[in-house]
Copies of this chain bind each other. A is one copy, B any other.
Amino acid sequence: MKLHEYQSKFLFRDFGIPIPLGKVATSADEAFAISSDLDGVVVIKAQVHVGGRGKAGGVKVAKNAAEARQYADDILGMDIKGLRVNKVLVDPGADIQQEIYLAITNDRSAGKPLIMASMEGGMDIEELNRQRPEAIVREHVDPFAGLQDYQMTFIASAMGLPRAQWRSFAKILRGLYQCYTESDAELAEINPLVITGEGELLAVDGKVIIDDNALFRQPALVEQRDTSDEPESERLAREAGITYIKLEGQIGCMVNGAGLAMTTMDMTKLYGDADGIGPANFLDIGGGATPEQVAAALRIILSDENVKCVLFNIFGGITRCDEVANGILTAYNEVNPSVPMVIRLQGTNAAEGNSIISEAQIPNLISADTLTEAAQRAVAAVKEQA
């Protein structure tokens, strides 16, 4: 779960990290009021769950409150990469002498928290990593022992931070690590952490992503979830406990298991790409695949207008294919889709399952034996409608 910039920075503040004294506005008038209070140059920043907002015009510097009102009015309601801006952060302008990058993330390979720090902050870490990987100091943290003081000295020293800032940097890094662990963050990033003209450190921009699997023990963070820019279908799926991701293609996929679901998507693209045909979604129906779940998933898939065909790919292991077939028929009758459905059942009781489907004699229901066959038939079904 991603936090907005303002949520991230307010969270940092709870862990003793200095941030600008800005506030959030949802209207131009509010932005005007906040700017008047701040009295001076302010920065108006769109709060959306997507990168590159600066280039998209979502960040503006205003010299006074009147300008702030104007810019907030411009930015609020703006569409950035398909997401609507509903909030702006109005921050006082900072006197920036140096931009530092500082982040803590889960290193998958090492299985340990990883601190990354660089004196060349401001730009994207991936970009920095491509251009000047040697400019990034990397330090793992022992997941039991936690961050040690000597590691903070090492990082400050290795990155070339001026000694005058070592003590305040250590305090910020300590706070960020605490924030990272206590919030179950996958990423806690300050970019840039700036050195001001007075030599103070200030977290000017921040990004926090919370581990979805840990939300059960982060009730205060869950309350901050902002779903206003989440696609409706994904929200419905999340509420139904189904993992669904909307894509741009025409073949709606309903599969059991995440790996097989990705594979099924890949197959539709493998055989359809030449004709501009591909997957309309990722959907993992999970282990059970009861008629209720199948029906809910089917409704979500069909809510996408691009969908011209639904591809069921179920590998019956513990789940028996005959039961799944019955589930599909029940769901079919309930939802009554107008697009063709390709059904491929394999594994335990596959023969019985396929008989049930073919005996139902529904013209829109196309049976397939292998995954290859299923993908090819789904592609063909879409092409027929073109």
A residues whose Cβ falls under 8 Å from a Cβ of B = 142, 144-145
What separation, in Å, do the CA atoms of A145 and B146 have in the docked complex?
10
**Shortest beta-carbon distance from A80 to chain B in Å:** 44
What separation, in Å, do the CA atoms of A148 and B362 have in the docked complex?
57
**Shortest beta-carbon distance from A237 to chain B in Å:** 33
What separation, in Å, do the CA atoms of A280 and B333 have in the docked complex?
98
**Shortest beta-carbon distance from A181 to chain B in Å:** 13
3 cross-chain CB contacts under 8 A: A142-B144, A144-B144, A144-B145
User: For A142, what are the chain B residues with a Cβ–Cβ distance below 8 Å?
Assistant: 144
**Shortest beta-carbon distance from A236 to chain B in Å:** 36
**Shortest beta-carbon distance from A131 to chain B in Å:** 38
**Shortest beta-carbon distance from A151 to chain B in Å:** 15
Closest residue of chain B to A144 (Cβ to Cβ) is B144
**Shortest beta-carbon distance from A10 to chain B in Å:** 27
User: For A144, what are the chain B residues with a Cβ–Cβ distance below 8 Å?
Assistant: 142, 144-145
**Shortest beta-carbon distance from A125 to chain B in Å:** 30
What separation, in Å, do the CA atoms of A145 and B145 have in the docked complex?
8
Closest residue of chain B to A145 (Cβ to Cβ) is B144
**Shortest beta-carbon distance from A24 to chain B in Å:** 36
**Shortest beta-carbon distance from A112 to chain B in Å:** 13
User: For A145, what are the chain B residues with a Cβ–Cβ distance below 8 Å?
Assistant: 144
What separation, in Å, do the CA atoms of A142 and B145 have in the docked complex?
11
What separation, in Å, do the CA atoms of A155 and B126 have in the docked complex?
49
What separation, in Å, do the CA atoms of A144 and B147 have in the docked complex?
12
**Shortest beta-carbon distance from A113 to chain B in Å:** 14
What separation, in Å, do the CA atoms of A257 and B142 have in the docked complex?
38
What separation, in Å, do the CA atoms of A145 and B142 have in the docked complex?
11
**Shortest beta-carbon distance from A293 to chain B in Å:** 32
What separation, in Å, do the CA atoms of A145 and B144 have in the docked complex?
6
**Shortest beta-carbon distance from A101 to chain B in Å:** 29
What separation, in Å, do the CA atoms of A142 and B142 have in the docked complex?
14
**Shortest beta-carbon distance from A386 to chain B in Å:** 59
What separation, in Å, do the CA atoms of A349 and B49 have in the docked complex?
75
What separation, in Å, do the CA atoms of A142 and B144 have in the docked complex?
10
Question: Which 3 A-B pairs give the minimum distances between C-beta atoms?
Answer: A144-B144, A144-B145, A142-B144
Closest residue of chain B to A146 (Cβ to Cβ) is B144
What separation, in Å, do the CA atoms of A142 and B143 have in the docked complex?
14
What separation, in Å, do the CA atoms of A144 and B144 have in the docked complex?
5
What separation, in Å, do the CA atoms of A53 and B144 have in the docked complex?
42
**Shortest beta-carbon distance from A216 to chain B in Å:** 16
Closest residue of chain B to A142 (Cβ to Cβ) is B144
**Shortest beta-carbon distance from A145 to chain B in Å:** 5
**Shortest beta-carbon distance from A48 to chain B in Å:** 40
**Shortest beta-carbon distance from A217 to chain B in Å:** 14
